[in-house]
Chains A and B, each alone.
Chain A
Amino acid sequence: MGYFLVDDLSIFAPVKFLSPFSFCMFLITTANAFGQEFDAAADTLKTKQLDEIIVTATRNERMVGALPMPVSLIPKNQIKTMGSLRLNDVLTEQTGLVVVPQINAQGNGIQIQGFNPDYTLILIDGEPIIGRYTGSLELSRIAIGNIKQIEIVKGPSSSLYGSDALAGVINIITDRPTGIRTNAAMRYGTNNTLDVNADVAFTKKKWGVYVFGNRYHTDGYDLSPQNFGKTVSPFTNYTFNSKLTYKFSSATDISVAGRFFDEDQVFRFEVESNGSRTRTAGNGNTHDWNFNPVLTHRFSDKLKMIARFYSTHYLTETKLNLETDGSPYYQDNFEQSFTRPELNAEYFFNDRNILTAGGGYIKEMVQTSRYGDEEKRFQETSYGFFQHEWLPLEKLTVISGGRYDHNTIYGGQFSPKLSSRYELNKKVTFKISGGVGFKAPDFRQLYFNFNNSAGGGYSVLGTEVALDRLAELDAAGQIQIYLFDPNRLGALQAERSVSINAGAHVKILPSLKMDLNVFHNSINNLIETQAVAVTTTGQSIYSYRNILRAFTQGVESNFSYPVAKYLSLSVGYQLLFAKDKDIAEAVKAGYMYWRDPITLATKRLKPGEYFGLYNRSRNMGNIKLFYDHKPSGWEGSLRVIYRGKYGIGDIRGNIQGEIIPPSDRNSNSILDKYDDFVSGYALVNISVAKTINQTIRVQLGVDNVFDHTEPVTIPNLPGRLFYTSVSYSFSKKNIQP
């Protein structure tokens, strides 16, 4: 594989759309045809690897610079320099992405453009990861030792991917078998965290095999040692991943991928119920597997078809026993499966027109003790989609597409999308895209019948079961008070967003590049948990409700500048406004008030004093320096990640039984400037690595250098972490430069 100056090549419009038949050859011939441009590639600072191809945005291999929607790509070498181990480590450092804890302040989900983690679709090689049993996906489940790159598309992508892709799509592209190579790495750090992984790639003639294995163990950490149990309990997990490829002919190939993941966690909890504290110990087990054969056939140099099959299974179980006598105290299980055959085709009409179309069928199953029974609940979805990539002018790209999903529970959803890119000149390129995203009410929101006595004492009831269950409790005299009229809960509808992203890529100087993106997401039928009642034992009962309208809007900007030959600087910033539309309008109309907690005087909230939704920071940003000196093998990084102040809603206690004080202190239940906020903070991460003889790499690093912690409000933020790692790589055809 050679090196290409992708950004410059892409200004020649026909190059942007590559025949599915001979992708690489086409690039090479084109590059040679424009020899002058190719010479520019000699400038090593400007060169980018051919790897800067992204599939997520269009479902086809396209160059990042040629796409009309906001996309970003995190390559493997950057992940390695950062010393990251799990998906959350990588994502938390990206502009506009925030890793946020979930219910009970546990776990790690991803917030994009102000959307909760439930609204971002997370894929491995184009297939969804399941197991969102509290709504968001636990990012630490994903080991990243076998990742080739991480692709992030912001803005709604339901037009290609269906439900859940409102805020965007994160697609983890795993390594494929190339050449003959092997890599083994071991990392040890604070909290007795040991990560060992190894992979082997082997290709011979038509065969290719890739195998990856990872073991991760941590003792967890304890931010509140005065309490029983740990903030994050010790856990150990194993990830195995394999990929087998076979080339039947130059036109037909197959890839069969599989993943297996197993995690064991050892808990110690102090459960408070009815004022008495009970010490429990137990364990949690999570495992998932998937199976993903993909058959690709090129009928001609114009038509390519891909048949995909994906089946995945997720299971998590928690058991707690009384510490005193070991008798069972609490048991919880959640099992989910997802199976999907899909067929899609890419037709290359000519240099200026490419059509992609496809269809598929999904069958999902959930079975859990959290629904009050162990019945299996199914839903089925049939869908079809199309996408037209069109170059009406040399400098203009227009991509239009849409998808129709039909589901056995929520009915039909049509999600269109239109994107366009225009090159004003060599320095400035404009991009704009608009689309519709949707998220179906999930099993949990419909059928939950869950009483968590272990997690601080609360119940969650899906809307389909809430009325019956509340009536039962009421009849048994267990309801102390209603906080919300259950009859107003109603049936849940799919959440829908209409979004626009508009931006520009500007070369301010030949080497100073800026990406700017302005976004607005208008969300309807947003589903939120709703506190419905309190039981006579003081436990809250929650259900779900379509909160009518919200919006998120803001600006994201990224600058990149090569300070010196081997040193690159990047600066990212996001400004975000995320608000409940109804509240924003009430404030504007003068109908929102606040009471001074000291004087007890009531005042009118002025426009501008309403801060917005909880858990959203208005400002966030990062400054990163990456040093990569290939001749000597030294590399290093200094990254500063800032998250501005934000508010906390009424989420009650955290896992260690500590009350998380909600922001609202002036009796209006909204977040305004007079409330308490979690202060803004910056995390500083440093890493240094040296590669010897292109085979042995030694790395040292410190994450969270200044040991910033917020034990009560940010339990998912561990303190300072030291680590060291050693890796060994061998490849028969050494493709290092």
Chain B
Amino acid sequence: MNLIKSILLIAVVSGFVIAFTGCNESEDPVPVVATTITNLAADPGTGFNPANGQPTGLTRKFTLFSFKTGEIILNTDSATIKWDLGFNGTTIIVNSAMSGPGTSQAQLVNGIFDELTTAPADGYKSDNDPAPIAGAPNPNLAIPTGSGQGWYTYDGAAQVNRPTAGKVIIVKTSEGRYAKMEIVSYYKDAPASPTSANIARYYTFRYVYQPNDTKAFN
């Protein structure tokens, strides 16, 4: 359960002010904010073999994340609907069907994060058969795995995974709320030009969570 110790930083993107009103369903639109999560550890292991870049000491567990709270959910709560997405290596699961008890769904859309002001009405998928195994390919996940298939592209020469530009993940949570997210790095501290010497399995992504019952992200 070392995962709990994972460093989680919540950075506020400039230009926005976090306005937690805490009040219930007010008619006034709540300004939604873009939040950046850095270094979300997706089972990075205890070290890595410098010879081949492969991580060692993997737990094979998914790091669970909730858009609503903007925080990591403990693995002890994996059987709840508290979490929306789970991360392990390049595999991302949504809390539904084969992955969890929830009804979270997701889809990948092409576009620019800031320009996506409305979540699509349909096209969402659950994690279908077979059950996802940490680190293993599974074409039936809502967010497909594989280079060029989902959110990243493998660069064989540099031996790094780069989040593919223009891929935005839209999530519909178990509570029926919408979030959009863009993964910008898979390496610790999001280096500009990652190499195989950088430590992998650390996600940097930004997201907008719409707490109200609307598809609008602004």
Binding site for B on A (CB under 8 A): 274-276, 479, 481-485, 531, 534, 537-538, 540, 591-595, 597-598, 600, 602-604, 650-653, 659-662, 664-669
From the candidates A484, A538, A661, name the one contacting B147 in the complex (CB within 8 A). A484
From the candidates A481, A540, A594, A669, name the one contacting B145 in the complex (CB within 8 A). A481
Contacts of B120 in A (CB 8 A): none
Contact with A along B189-206 (1 / 0, CB 8 A): 010110000000000100
Q: Is B156 interfacial (CB-CB < 8 Å)?
A: yes
Contacts of A540 in B (CB 8 A): 156
Residue of A nearest to B136 (CB): A481
8 shortest interchain CB distances as A-B pairs: A275-B51, A593-B166, A483-B147, A595-B165, A593-B165, A482-B137, A600-B184, A275-B52
Contacts of B190 in A (CB 8 A): 600
Contacts of A668 in B (CB 8 A): 164-166
Contacts of B149 in A (CB 8 A): 483-485
A538 touches B193 (CB 8 A): no
How many angstroms from the CA of A598 to the CA of B185 in the assembled complex? 11
How many angstroms from the CA of A666 to the CA of B185 in the assembled complex? 12
From the candidates B49, B146, B182, name the one contacting A485 in the complex (CB within 8 A). B146
Residue of A nearest to B147 (CB): A483
B153 touches A669 (CB 8 A): yes
How many angstroms from the CA of A484 to the CA of B144 in the assembled complex? 11
A-B contact pairs, 17 of them (CB 8 A): A275-B51, A479-B137, A481-B135, A481-B137, A531-B154, A591-B110, A593-B165, A593-B166, A594-B165, A597-B193, A600-B204, A602-B182, A652-B157, A660-B157, A662-B155, A668-B166, A669-B153
B53 touches A538 (CB 8 A): yes
- What is the minimal beta-carbon distance from B178 to any residue of chain A, in angstroms? 20
Residue of B nearest to A536 (CB): B54
Residue of A nearest to B110 (CB): A591
Q: Is B11 interfacial (CB-CB < 8 Å)?
A: no
Binding site for A on B (CB under 8 A): 49-54, 90, 110, 112-113, 135, 137, 139, 145-149, 153-159, 162-166, 182, 184-185, 190, 192-193, 204
Given contacts A531-B154, A602-B165, A602-B166, 17 further A-B contacts (CB under 8 A): A274-B51, A275-B52, A481-B135, A481-B146, A483-B147, A483-B149, A485-B146, A534-B154, A593-B166, A600-B190, A602-B112, A650-B157, A651-B157, A652-B156, A664-B155, A667-B164, A669-B164
How many angstroms from the CA of A538 to the CA of B90 in the assembled complex? 15
Q: Which of A485, A594, A600, A650 has the most CB of B within 10 A?
A: A600
Interface of A is mostly: loop
Contacts of A602 in B (CB 8 A): 112-113, 165-166, 182, 184
Contacts of B157 in A (CB 8 A): 650-653, 659-662
Contacts of B193 in A (CB 8 A): 597, 665
Contacts of B165 in A (CB 8 A): 593-595, 602-603, 666-668
Interface of B is mostly: loop
Given contacts A275-B49, A275-B52, contact A482 B146 (CB under 8 A): yes
How many angstroms from the CA of A196 to the CA of B156 in the assembled complex? 43
Contacts of A534 in B (CB 8 A): 154
How many angstroms from the CA of A662 to the CA of B149 in the assembled complex? 20
Residue of A nearest to B185 (CB): A600
Contacts of A653 in B (CB 8 A): 157
How many angstroms from the CA of A482 to the CA of B141 in the assembled complex? 14
How many angstroms from the CA of A482 to the CA of B144 in the assembled complex? 11
Q: Which of A481, A594, A669 has the most CB of B within 10 A?
A: A481
- What is the minimal beta-carbon distance from A278 to any residue of chain B, in angstroms? 13
A667 touches B163 (CB 8 A): yes
How many angstroms from the CA of A600 to the CA of B112 in the assembled complex? 12
- What is the minimal beta-carbon distance from B149 to any residue of chain A, in angstroms? 7
Contacts of A604 in B (CB 8 A): 112, 166
Residue of B nearest to A649 (CB): B157
Given contacts A538-B159, A598-B192, A602-B112, contact A482 B166 (CB under 8 A): no
Residue of B nearest to A481 (CB): B137
Contacts of A652 in B (CB 8 A): 156-157
Residue of A nearest to B154 (CB): A483
- What is the minimal beta-carbon distance from B50 to any residue of chain A, in angstroms? 8
From the candidates B52, B135, B182, B185, name the one contacting A538 in the complex (CB within 8 A). B52
How many angstroms from the CA of A729 to the CA of B26 in the assembled complex? 100
- What is the minimal beta-carbon distance from A349 to any residue of chain B, in angstroms? 57
A538 touches B54 (CB 8 A): yes
- What is the minimal beta-carbon distance from A366 to any residue of chain B, in angstroms? 27
A662 touches B158 (CB 8 A): yes
Contacts of A666 in B (CB 8 A): 165
- What is the minimal beta-carbon distance from A461 to any residue of chain B, in angstroms? 16
How many angstroms from the CA of A485 to the CA of B155 in the assembled complex? 17
- What is the minimal beta-carbon distance from B193 to any residue of chain A, in angstroms? 6
B166 touches A591 (CB 8 A): yes
Contacts of B51 in A (CB 8 A): 274-276
B192 touches A592 (CB 8 A): no
Contacts of B54 in A (CB 8 A): 538
How many angstroms from the CA of A275 to the CA of B50 in the assembled complex? 8
A483 touches B155 (CB 8 A): no
Contacts of A593 in B (CB 8 A): 110, 112, 165-166
How many angstroms from the CA of A700 to the CA of B112 in the assembled complex? 60
How many angstroms from the CA of A375 to the CA of B51 in the assembled complex? 37
How many angstroms from the CA of A275 to the CA of B146 in the assembled complex? 24
B155 touches A650 (CB 8 A): yes
Contacts of A594 in B (CB 8 A): 165-166
Q: Which of A483, A531, A667 has the most CB of B within 10 A?
A: A667
Contacts of A595 in B (CB 8 A): 163, 165, 184
How many angstroms from the CA of A651 to the CA of B156 in the assembled complex? 7
- What is the minimal beta-carbon distance from B94 to any residue of chain A, in angstroms? 20
A661 touches B204 (CB 8 A): no
Contacts of A598 in B (CB 8 A): 192
How many angstroms from the CA of A653 to the CA of B196 in the assembled complex? 14
Given contacts A650-B155, A650-B157, A669-B153, contact A482 B164 (CB under 8 A): no
How many angstroms from the CA of A276 to the CA of B113 in the assembled complex? 43
- What is the minimal beta-carbon distance from A547 to any residue of chain B, in angstroms? 13
Residue of B nearest to A662 (CB): B157
Residue of A nearest to B195 (CB): A659
Contacts of A274 in B (CB 8 A): 51-52
- What is the minimal beta-carbon distance from A710 to any residue of chain B, in angstroms? 16
Contacts of B166 in A (CB 8 A): 591-594, 602, 604, 668
Contacts of B153 in A (CB 8 A): 667, 669
Contacts of A483 in B (CB 8 A): 146-149, 154
Residue of B nearest to A648 (CB): B157
How many angstroms from the CA of A598 to the CA of B113 in the assembled complex? 17
Contacts of A600 in B (CB 8 A): 184-185, 190, 204
How many angstroms from the CA of A493 to the CA of B157 in the assembled complex? 29
Contacts of B145 in A (CB 8 A): 481-482
Contacts of A667 in B (CB 8 A): 153, 162-165
Residue of A nearest to B162 (CB): A667
- What is the minimal beta-carbon distance from A590 to any residue of chain B, in angstroms? 9
Given contacts A650-B156, A667-B153, contact A481 B90 (CB under 8 A): yes
Contacts of B137 in A (CB 8 A): 479, 481-482
How many angstroms from the CA of A481 to the CA of B137 in the assembled complex? 6
Q: Which of B112, B157, B190 has the most CB of A within 10 A?
A: B157
Contacts of B146 in A (CB 8 A): 481-485
Contacts of B184 in A (CB 8 A): 595, 600, 602
- What is the minimal beta-carbon distance from A374 to any residue of chain B, in angstroms? 30
Contacts of B110 in A (CB 8 A): 591, 593
A484 touches B148 (CB 8 A): yes
How many angstroms from the CA of A319 to the CA of B158 in the assembled complex? 29
Contacts of A482 in B (CB 8 A): 137, 145-146
Residue of B nearest to A604 (CB): B112
How many angstroms from the CA of A598 to the CA of B191 in the assembled complex? 8
- What is the minimal beta-carbon distance from B171 to any residue of chain A, in angstroms? 18
How many angstroms from the CA of A592 to the CA of B147 in the assembled complex? 17
A531 touches B52 (CB 8 A): no
- What is the minimal beta-carbon distance from A423 to any residue of chain B, in angstroms? 52
Contacts of B113 in A (CB 8 A): 602
Residue of B nearest to A586 (CB): B110
